[in-house]
């Protein structure tokens, strides 16, 4: 579950009850109130990434994703998931590599553009281009260039596992996503 399907609408007040009887298994999902579930998922604060790839024709594709996460140090593995009805599903399934740019606090505009349905999400974006590799967002806090090692259809998402080929990180504050809103760390 990702923020995209819940949109950027802030749900308030913050109290929705999840109906999940102990006696029932996961298959009791029909008892779940979808709004309550989205709200509960949205309470988990995350960083924000832009995931890029080159499609089968060598064209760059990219989207904002907060489902990214680390999986393993040895071997170095990461994961992220994509809605299977996304317009970019086929491109990412066919791609051999993907790259992850972890956005900095001042890159909300980048996150919004790569979450949009703009026909050219790269328009006006400052990208680092390397021939034969997915482009990276310049100024991001971290970059991971990954070889896709697996993808699985899990529910309404495709789960991608990538082996990290290169990773770089820079000092700075991250862009955050919480309660379906962008946010930054507050320094008290």
Summarize as ranges the residues that interact with ligand FMN (CB under 6 A): 2-4, 48, 63-67, 80-83, 86-88, 111, 115, 117, 177
Least CB distance to ligand FMN at residue 83 (A): 4
Q: Is 136 exposed, middle or buried (0-12, 13-18, 19+ CB in 10 A)?
A: buried
Output 3 or 99, the one with its CB closest to ligand FMN.
3
Reading phi first (left if > 0) and then psi (alpha if -120 to 50, else beta), residue 3 is in alpha
Output 63 or 136, the one with its CB closest to ligand FMN.
63
Q: Is 3 exposed, middle or buried (0-12, 13-18, 19+ CB in 10 A)?
A: buried
Position closest to ligand FMN via CB: 4
Q: How far apart are CA 143 and CA 24, in angstroms?
A: 42
Output 52 or 64, the one with its CB closest to ligand FMN.
64
With tokens 């000092």, the residue in question is 171
Least CB distance to ligand FMN at residue 177 (A): 4
Least CB distance to ligand FMN at residue 31 (A): 25
Output 54 or 65, the one with its CB closest to ligand FMN.
65
């Amino acid at each position: 579950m990702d923020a995209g399907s819940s949109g950027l609408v802030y749900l308030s007040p913050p109290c929705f009850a999840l109906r999940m009887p102990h006696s029932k298994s996961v298959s009791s999902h029909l008892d779940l109130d979808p709004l309550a579930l989205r709200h509960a998922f949205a309470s988990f604060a995350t960083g924000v990434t832009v995931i890029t790839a080159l499609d089968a024709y060598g064209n760059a594709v990219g989207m904002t994703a907060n489902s990214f996460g680390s999986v393993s140090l040895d071997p170095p593995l990461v994961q992220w998931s994509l809605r299977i009805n996304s317009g970019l599903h086929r491109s990412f399934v066919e791609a051999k590599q993907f790259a992850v740019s972890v956005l900095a606090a001042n890159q909300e505009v980048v996150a919004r553009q790569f979450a949009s349905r703009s026909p050219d999400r790269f328009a006006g974006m400052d990208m680092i281009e390397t021939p034969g590799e997915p482009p990276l967002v310049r100024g991001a806090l971290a970059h991971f260039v990954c070889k896709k090692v697996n993808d699985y259809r899990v529910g309404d998402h495709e789960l991608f596992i990538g082996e990290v080929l290169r990773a770089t990180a820079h000092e700075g504050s991250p862009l955050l996503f919480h309660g379906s809103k962008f946010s930054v760390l507050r320094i008290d």
